[in-house]
Chain A
Amino acid sequence: MALLKLQSLSVAHGDLDLVSDVSFDVHAGERVGIIGESGSGKSLTALAIAGLLGEELRSRGSVHFDGEELIGASERHLSRLRGDRIAMIFQEPMTALTPTKRVGVQIGETLRIHRGVGRRASQIAAVELLGRVEFSDPQRYARMYPHELSGGQRQRVMIALAIAGDPDLILADEPTTALDVTVQRKILELLDRLVREENCALVLIAHDLAVVSTICDRVVTMYGGRVVETGSVADIIDHPRHPYTAALLATSSAIAVDVESRGTVLPSIPGSVPSAGHFPGGCPFRDRCSSATSACLEFPLMESGSHRVACWHPLDENSERGSR
């Protein structure tokens, strides 16, 4: 049975659906990447899972976690799961840590909440966790305030904070986006290693397929608040079937092999992501899609199977990536 099962999850702001009808599963220990440009609804999906949507947003549908329905669960109930069984890593390390508390305290807090651990014991645990996220002098760093750390260091603190409660599922929302390229790789490697060690499921949100492809087993592509393609990393990278996935792939830094040696600028997807509520009816991608036809005025249904796509004119299963 899946650890996490999303069925027809929608997130609405008033009457406007920002996320529509999202369904996918995450099995225990499985690592799933969600990709898409910003505005595609992937962060909202993660927040909806954790029940951390802003006041003004409402979720419907179903989020089953380990057999429990989370949509509509009480704040008290959700707060027992959060940090303990479901942890989150946020995009902005600059603002995601409380500026007035020492990082050791912030890391230890998870244990104090869920394990009833005392101040001193939680500090010892925090230092150990800082060690695990590769701080060379964890004792010293534990006493520091977030503003005294670099972006990469802060994101490592976030990771330590996430794994502190030994969760079953980590939701990582673009954990490397705000970081330097060199630091990004290190953070990803660290995350990859720790998730493996903890044998914990991971939902990794990124707008860059390269990031997802390095550590994930499966990929979900989202656009316009909907899931448009899902499949194994190999399927998606080798045989993207949705034109949007293909376009993402074409613009992806690391996968577009040796970008620098070729000396070309990364191609970008024509047009830009509309703001919420301004996606066209039917297939939301149709005004940016070169394959669009009149059929695309209807929303394409998701196929079934392991590599599924929602497109009236999916790319050939056997075609090489990037070429059409």
Chain B
Amino acid sequence: MSKGRGWFVVRRLGVVLSSLVAASMLVFVFLNVLPGSPAEVILGTQSTPASVAALTIQLGLNKPIWRQYLDWMGGLVNGNFGVSYISGQSIGHEIHQALLVTGPLVLLAMLIGLVIGVPLGLTGALYKGRWLGSVVGGLSQIGIAIPSVVAGILLTVGLSIKLHLFPSSGFPGWQDPWGSLRALVLPAFALGVVEGAILARYIRAAVMEQLRSDYLRTARSKGLRRSQALRRHGLRVAAIPVVTVLGLEIASLIVGAIVVENIFALPGVGMMLLNAVNNRDLIVVQDIAMVVVTAVLLINTLVDLSYQWLDPRLRGRR
């Protein structure tokens, strides 16, 4: 069985790698057919056909497109993200810095989502049909309906401008770990509240299904109370759909991070991406796209591996 699992991992990695190559081509082609060139944006209203042509050559954008692709991919394979057309800065360094903001932001948001979603979902399932269950159901409905923009603004006004509990925006950098964490709390809440509401619904559904399952009844027939039986016998299976949703939600959290970083003025990957798109800083956009695709693929792989850990029935298959 362990050999089978090893093979599974190897095959998964193969799938991940080929997906990455496919994604890189797609991203590259898509960005290169976008109208507007970096040279024009750099020169702005000082552009003339001659100056744009000269800068295009200087930036190496006159090379054939396949050559540009290979140069870029060659760099990536060697861990070199290249240099921004616009700022002339090393992109790898910039992405690294931005990930140090977005990574913790997304993780914190996910944590907040779990802290909100797990108790809400469990309560909703265990108290289904009673008033507490209805209240919880209503809360999660509201949570799902709130876009994170609105949640962000409400939190900013309430907790930072009115109460001065948290900074309304900005990020001091990790040399000030406490300040940085504080700066991430509101944005993470803005992201995580919606997350938690969605999770709560899935957890509630998954737990309710477990509560109806035959084996939970067996567990109770052995002398476990309902909640004990659920915890010892049901949660692990209930975790499977929840983990799936969690994996999918990571992607939506990364998208949400773009919005939230914008509102809270955080120097994260989302902001970097937005600005790079606006500036037609193609290599930066390509690099970020690849980082995000890699992250999502890895998370999906982890999710698949976790299925096997969670449910022995899935081991040694595939």
User: A residues bordering B, Cβ < 8 Å?
Assistant: 50, 52, 54-55, 75-76, 79-84, 87-88, 90, 92, 95-101, 109-110, 113-114, 145, 147, 158, 161, 165
Contacts and interface: CB of A to CB of B under 8 A. Distances in A.
Contacts of B213: 95
A319 B211 CA distance: 49
Contacts of B215: 95-99
Contacts of B217: 52, 90, 96
A55 B129 contact: yes
Contact of A83 (B212, B221, B310): B221
6 contacts: A50-B221, A55-B129, A75-B226, A92-B214, A100-B312, A109-B222
B223 A99 contact: no
B226 A147 contact: no
B222 A100 contact: no
Contacts of A101: 233
B219 interface: yes
Contacts of B313: 99, 145, 147
A90 B211 CA distance: 16
The 3 closest A-B pairs by CB, nearest first: A83-B223, A83-B222, A95-B214
Contacts of B18: none
A80 B226 CA distance: 12
Nearest to B212: A54
Interface of B is mostly: helix
A92 B217 CA distance: 12
B312 A145 contact: yes
A100 B307 CA distance: 11
Nearest to B219: A98
Nearest to B217: A52
Nearest to A85: B223
Interface range for B: 20 to 34
Interface in B251-308: none
A133 to B, nearest CB: 16
B233 A98 contact: yes
A65 to B, nearest CB: 14
A87 B221 contact: yes
B225 A76 contact: yes
Contacts of A84: 223
B12 interface: no
Contacts of B220: 52, 79, 82
Contact of B223 (A97, A100, A114, A145): A114
Interface in B61-109: none
Contacts of A100: 233, 236-237, 310-312
A113 B214 contact: no
B128 interface: yes
A79 B236 contact: no
B312 A82 contact: no
A87 B217 CA distance: 12
Contacts of A90: 214, 217-218, 221
B27 interface: no
B221 A82 contact: yes
Nearest to B223: A83
B224 interface: yes
Contacts of B222: 82-83, 87, 109-110, 113, 161, 165
Contacts of A54: 212
Given A84-B223, A98-B218, 10 more contacts: A52-B220, A54-B212, A55-B129, A55-B211, A87-B221, A90-B214, A96-B215, A98-B215, A100-B236, A101-B233
A258 B225 CA distance: 47
Contacts of B236: 100
B312 to A, nearest CB: 4
A57 to B, nearest CB: 13
A52 B225 contact: no
Contacts of A76: 225
Nearest to A99: B313
A98 B221 CA distance: 13
B226 to A, nearest CB: 6
Interface in B171-217: 211-217
A87 to B, nearest CB: 7
A55 B128 CA distance: 9
Given A79-B224, A84-B223, A99 B311 contact: yes
